[in-house]
Amino acid sequence: MTDLEVMEIAIQEAKTALSKSNFPVGAVLLINKEIIDKSQNQNRELGTLCFHAENSLLIKHSSLIKQAVQGKDFVEIYSTLEPCLYCFAGILQHNIHRLVFSVSDPNVGASSILPYLNDWYRKKNITIEKNILVDTYLPILYEDNKRYNRYDWDKLLALNNRK
């Protein structure tokens, strides 16, 4: 599957999250280009801060990911929004090879901190790609922002080269 096809799946998960009044983030886990699972943010629905889309995949498939990485399989996570520190740390801890996301998060996005972490994290050899289907995901994020006003919208657009 292409990056665009996988991100479309993540975006569908984000739409589902929004329809349940959750923060609209979707994520997809792949091993050797095969989709293993998809997830969405469920924080409001489940009444906890732990069910971020990416972290839910990591928890559910931790053993499988570890096995895949040890077996030299290629592991990727796609997310509609740049992962927060909580999820990014989990992605690094699981030795994920590639992180792909749509929109950079000016509030809590954490992927830019990698160069500032200690050697153990920097040597993880993760590839990070962004700006996949930004214009498809932004309207979904905007709907949530109208309700909860999480973002300075101009700042978010500028960070994502949309202004």
Instruction: Give residue-wise pLDDT tens across range 75-107.
Output: 999 999 999 999 999 999 999 999 999 999 999
Q: What is the pLDDT of residue 15?
A: 98
Chain centroid to CA 107: 14
Q: What is the pLDDT of residue 163?
A: 74
Q: What is the pLDDT of residue 101?
A: 98
Kindly name the residue from 8, 54, 76, 82 that is annotated as catalytic. Answer: 54
Is residue 80 exposed (0-12), middle (13-18) or buried (19+ Cβ within 10 Å)? buried
Share of the chain above pLDDT 90, in %: 92
Predicted confidence band of residue 6 (pLDDT cuts 50, 70, 90): very high
Beta-strand relationship, 127-129 and 98-103: parallel
Is residue 127 exposed (0-12), middle (13-18) or buried (19+ Cβ within 10 Å)? exposed
Has 143 been annotated as catalytic?
A: no
Each residue of 125-143: pLDDT tens digit? 899 999 999 999 999 999 9
